Amino acid sequence: MNKPLRRIAIFCGLLVFALLVRDNWLQYVRADDLKDDPLNRRVAIERYATPRGDIIVDGKSITGSSTSNSSDFEYKRTYKDGPMWAPVTGYASQAFGATQLESIDDGILTGNDDRLFFRNTLDMITGKKKQGGNVVTTLNAAAQKAAYDGLKGRGKGAVAAIDPSTGAILALASFPSYDPSVFAGNSQADAEAWQKLQKKANPDEPMLNRALRDIYPPGSTFKVVTAAAALESGLYTDADEKTDSPLPYTLPDTTTELKNEGTIPCKNATMRVALQWSCNTVFGKMGVDVGKDKMLEEAKKFGFNSEQFVPVRSSASNFPEKMDKPQTALSSIGQFETATTPLQMAMVASAIANDGKLMKPYMVDKLQAPNLDVLEQTEPEEMSQPLSSKNAQTLQSMMETVVKDGTGKKAQISGVTVGGKTGTAQHGVDNSEKPYAWFISYAKLADGSSPVAVAVVVQDEEAIRDNISGGGLAAPIAKSVMEAVINSKQ
Amino acid sequence: MSSTTNTSQHHTSTIGAIGTPSRRNTELALLVFSVVIPVFAYVNVGLAIDDKVPTGLLSYGLGLGLIAGVGHVVVRKFAPYADPLLLPLATLLNGVGLVVIWRLDQSKRLQLRSTFVEAAPRQLLYSALGVALFVAVLVLLKDHRILQRYTYISMAGAIVLLVLPLVPGLGVDIFGARIWIKIPGLGTVQPGEFAKIALAIFFAGYLMVKRDALALASRRFMGLYLPRGRDLGPIIVVWIISILILVFETDLGTSLLFFGMFIIMLYVATERTSWIVFGLLMSAAGAVGVASFETHVQQRVEAWLDPMNEYLLSQKGVPGHTEQSMQALWAFGSGGTLGTGLGQGNSDLIGFAANSDFILATFGEELGLAGVMAILLLYGLIVERGVRTALAARDPFGKLLAIGLSGAFALQVFVVAGGVMGLIPLTGMTMPFLAYGGSSVIANWALIGILLRISDTARRPAPAPAPNPDAEMTQVVRP
């Protein structure tokens, strides 16, 4: 009987061996996947086990932590002026996870980042409780407030403002917005508040970050990109050179006439005049003359057709890659399939204001350890050069005329040179929906430096259709944002 | 000759009994570790959770010490040649199990559950009862061969135990499996744990008698010995019973355990590989056949194949689904190589049955890969000592009983640990000694008692041969 006994012994050994192998697979090979699985509640438990580090604007925290009475979580995230800052912070909720900065820099905020490992180990030895680090943003509180207050009560809209010389994001506002505090916890009330904010229950989509994650047809504001392409391609070299622009202008290969808004002096107008009055005919034809390839190339240099990471991801703006000539004409005046995030248009304005150099946009200045040591400092970085310094200055003078004498008069600031461009973008089937009012601009100080470029988009449900124009609705918001930045610099 | 005679009195015999050391002192030394390690673990949990040494330390230490001490004294007196490892191994597993059960008692998350009861004091009581049964086995069962007389009574007992959970009003359905009975005032009992031992006794007694018929009367076909039709009877009966368990008690684990135990014992008794082939074919056919119509079994298999989907379904509130499997996997993964340390994990997220069926996940999270491997090796050692006992046993009944009990033990560890770790579909059984549950801990102490009895008989020095009148004449060597 001993031979089968020995075989059974081997069989039992194999059973134990199989368990050992499986255990190694689970606890060694797959350990990290399982440990960091966002559905694994330990991730959230860990996130709220210590007071979370703060997100900081202008030296003050816009977030906080309070003790939580939940059985799983010791602390709960709190927000100051939650709706205003939500597009910057995102949210960190015990029940619903974390997004945007709260998610991207979670390691720093919870104190679990590898860079804090040594410090944590020391703390463990000395018996100190683990602490989270801080995320210091580039945002400007006054500009953000101006942007949010400007949007508030205007229906839907968004503002993005950038420091052209560095790419630092100064304002990032979206309206309607939400207060991340209301669902930061894990209770029934939190769940109800969350449900109310979802698209299903709330068609206004308050949780949509319009500044980064929604794309809108840019309308006439896109004409500055077309102008940049014309200058760069050498089609025209001077702002005051007559363009070859017939009126009426029939779209190539069609019998459709491209219309201007009202009776404006567009026939063979100079680029300056055409931009001043926002001539569709001039820029439509200009796009066709530059050609779709060079238009696309220029748009891409400004950042179109790729996602931006600031470090929060922004949607890719779109300039169509395949189109025929009439479509090229429409795309060149910001219609057809051209669509952009507010951030993208702020990047366009900032590149022009920065003499042609586009700086990579970013909103995290530095990451700090709990003792305020800097763990990571973001250095400004050049992303591309969409146009030469000379052409940039030509475009600046044109945009400054728009504000001085054209459609953008409402953005004028005394003592400051402002360049801008209005836009009114129709959308919906047969333009059935209310248009978007756009305004992009930059401010230039007496010393020639430009501290801010801004893009504003507003869709006002209440406004009468005819009254919607970038100059009327969006320009005042852009103005107050620029003023806030200039005042805070002084 | 009495069994206590030693060699020095028989140096006149050329084949005198070889001096087998009793190893009782080895056992005592190991037992000290088996008590000290859990006591340290207990202090560790207290410090981790409350920053202080737990107040119950003295009673816990004394309780475990008493269990080990009584066990040891009884073994020394009644089974002096028994295997020295089994008692310390069982004590250690029982001890760390108690610590982890106590640790889960401290969990605020589990305390919020409506079904929460402090499990550790009860488990300590069950352990004491288990050791009492262990003592009773060693004291009352002078020779394991006595059990052979109760072959058919064991069978009847096993069947009654297996059927009990199906009796209306007595059986309770917990999470789909009907393997518990409720005794008012005492709580629930899992009769299957006791049936395991009764069945092993029955199989051993039955196969010892029938093994020649089963082994020899066969035809050779394609290299396999095919049993005669009428010899297939017993295996088919056991197979049908296993299938019935699976269908009516919807418990894959118990079914697999009994059938597996029978196949192992049949193979050892007959030395015919063909039985294993038959057994595997039949269990595969049975499992697939039942799974084709039994939704509970299907669900378990689906949950095993895609635990994440099972988790998501349970979060959506779809009835009949449970998050436990995925929670257990997360617990293991979060433990990593060295674990979070006792008292510092979140394995209580498993919720229901965290301290019984899923207790291994707490070891996984808090003691890590290292801790679980150590636990698995402790189980492996128990099985190894059991198999060694079977090898050493001199009588076929003892061999069969020892291999049946250790084989069933190995299968149970595999089925439970494999289920919790997602290696095989989950079944409702408990880790022997570690898990909270009176039936399990009491039955397994009895199992260890029987193994010790067999091993004592096996390792006991053989009685010297009857005095040979010619002994003096043939004597050639004298020390």
Task: Going from the first residue of chain A to its last (490 residues), give the mean pLDDT of each consecutive group of 10, the final group possibly shorter.
Answer: 90 95 95 89 84 90 84 86 92 88 89 82 78 91 92 86 94 92 88 89 88 89 92 88 84 84 83 88 90 90 92 90 87 88 94 92 92 88 92 91 84 87 75 80 89 90 57 85 87
Nearest by CB to residue A23, choosing from B373, B411, B414, is B373
Asked if A28's CB is within 8 angstroms of B364's CB, the reply is: no
How far apart, in whole angstroms, are the C-alpha atoms of residue A9 and residue A11?
5
pLDDT at B9: 46
- Considering only CB atoms, B380 lies closest to which of A4, A16, A37, namely A16
pLDDT of residue A440: 92
CB within 8 A of B232, min separation 6: which ones?
A: none
Residue B187 β-bridge partners: B183
Integer Rg of chain B from CA:
24
The 10s digit of each residue's pLDDT in A430-439 is 666 778 888 9
With an 8 Å Cβ cutoff, are B391 and A2 in contact? yes
Hey, which residues does A137 pair with through a beta bridge? A364
Per residue in B169-222, pLDDT (tens digit) is 777 776 666 777 777 666 678 888 898 899 999 999 988 888 887 777 666 666
Whether B451 shows a pLDDT value over 90: the answer reads: yes
Nearest-Cα residue of chain A relative to residue B417: A19
> Chain A contacts of B346, Cβ < 8 Å?
41-42, 45
Which 40-79 residues of chain B touch chain A by CB within 8 A? Answer: none
> Given an 8 Å threshold on Cβ–Cβ distance, is B383 in contact with A4?
no
3-state secondary structure of A153: coil
Q: At what angle do helices B57-78 and B24-50 cross, to 10 degrees?
A: 170
- Scored b (16 or more CB within 10 A) or e, B377-386 reads ebbbebbbbb
CB contact under 8 A, B267 and A40: no
At B41, give phi and psi (nearest 5°).
-60, -40
Sequence letter at residue B399:
K
- Any alpha helices (H) in B320-422, and if so which ranges? 324-335, 359-392, 396-420
**Nearest CB to A22; choose among B264, B334, B421:** B421
Residue in chain B nearest A24 by alpha carbon: B369
Nearest neighbour of B333 by CB, restricted to A8, A35, A71? A35
Q: Is B413 in Cβ contact with A23 (below 8 Å)?
A: no
For A179, residues 6+ apart whose C-beta sits below 8 A from its C-beta are A79, A82, A83, A86
Which has more confidence, A68 or B358? B358
pLDDT score recorded for residue B95: 95
- Residue A6's CB is within 10 A of a number of other CB atoms, namely 12
Asked if residues B461 and B20 have their Cβ atoms less than 8 Å apart, the reply is yes
Number of cross-chain residue pairs from A and B with Cβ atoms under 8 Å apart: 134
**Which letter, b or e, does each residue of B279-302 get, where b requires 16 or more Cβ atoms within 10 Å of its Cβ?**
beebbeebbeebbeeeebbebbbb
HEC sequence for B279-330: HHHHHHHHHHHHHCCCHHHHHHHHHHHCHHHHHHHHHCCCCCCCCHHHHHHH
Question: Is B403 in Cβ contact with A8 (below 8 Å)?
Answer: yes
Residue B11 pLDDT level (bands cut at 50, 70, 90): very low
Residue B196 CA to residue B188 CA, distance in Å, equals 17
pLDDT at B465: 66
Q: What are the pLDDT digits (tens) for B119-132?
A: 888 899 999 999 99
Q: Considering only CB atoms, which chain A residues are within 8 Å of B383? A: 12, 16
CA distance B345 to chain A (A): 9
Quote the minimal CA–CA distance from A30 to chain B in Å: 7
Question: 3-state DSSP call for residue A411?
Answer: helix
A359 contacts A353 by C-beta, under 8 angstroms:
no
pLDDT at B296: 78
Closest chain B CA to residue A36? B334
Name chain B contacts of A7, Cβ cutoff 8 Å. 267
Q: In whole angstroms, what is the distance from residue A454 CA to residue A403 CA? A: 14
Measured CA to CA, the distance from residue A54 to residue A133 in angstroms comes to 7
Looking at residue B2, its pLDDT comes to: 44
Contact map slice: B 322-351 vs A, CB within 8 A: 326, 329-330, 332-337, 346, 349
Superfamily of domain A212-364+384-489: DD-peptidase/beta-lactamase superfamily (3.40.710.10)
pLDDT exceeds 50 at position B13: no
Assess contact for A47 and A53: CB atoms under 8 A.
no
Q: Which is it for strands A134-137 and A55-57: parallel, antiparallel or unpaired?
A: parallel
Residues of A in contact with B376 (CB under 8 A): 16, 19-20, 23
Read off the pLDDT band of B16 (50, 70, 90): very low
Nearest CA-CA partner of A424 in A286, A283, A319, A278: A278
Cα of B448 to nearest chain A Cα, Å: 17
- DSSP character at residue A473: I
User: 3-state DSSP: chain A helix, strand, coil percent, rounded to 5?
Assistant: 45, 20, 35
At residue B446, the pLDDT reads: 95
B60 to chain A, minimum CA–CA distance in Å?
28
Chain A positions touching B458 (Cβ under 8 A) are none
pLDDT above 60 for B12: no
Nearest chain A Cα to B410, which residue?
Answer: A12
Tokens coding A472: 């009327």
Q: Which amino acid is at B268?
A: V
Which chain A residues have a beta carbon less than 8 Å from that of B204? none
Contact B311/A at CB under 8 A: yes
Condensed to tens digits (0 to 9), the pLDDT of residues B52-98 reads: 888 888 889 999 999 999 999 999 999 999 999 999 999 999 999 99
Highest-scoring range by mean pLDDT, A115-119, A324-328, B245-249, B288-292? A324-328
Residue with tokens 């029939």: A250
Q: Which is catalytic among the residues A93, A165, A181, A220? A: A220
Locate the domains of chain A by residue range: 212-364+384-489
Determine the distance in angstroms separating the CA of A481 from the nearest CA of chain B, rounded to an integer.
45
CA distance B268 to B405: 13
Distance (Å) of CA B135 to CA B128, B198, B447, B452: 10, 18, 11, 11
Looking at CA atoms only, how far is residue B297 from chain A in angstroms?
A: 22
Is A480 one of the annotated active-site residues of the chain?
A: no
Residues of B whose CB is below 8 A from A35: 330, 333-334, 336
Token digits for A411?
């953005």
Burial of A329-350, coded b for 16+ CB within 10 Å and e otherwise, reads bbbbbbbbebbbbbbbbbbbbb
Confirm if B404 and B261 have CB atoms less than 8 A apart: yes
Q: What is the pLDDT of residue B479?
A: 58
Neighbours of A404 (CB within 10 A): 15
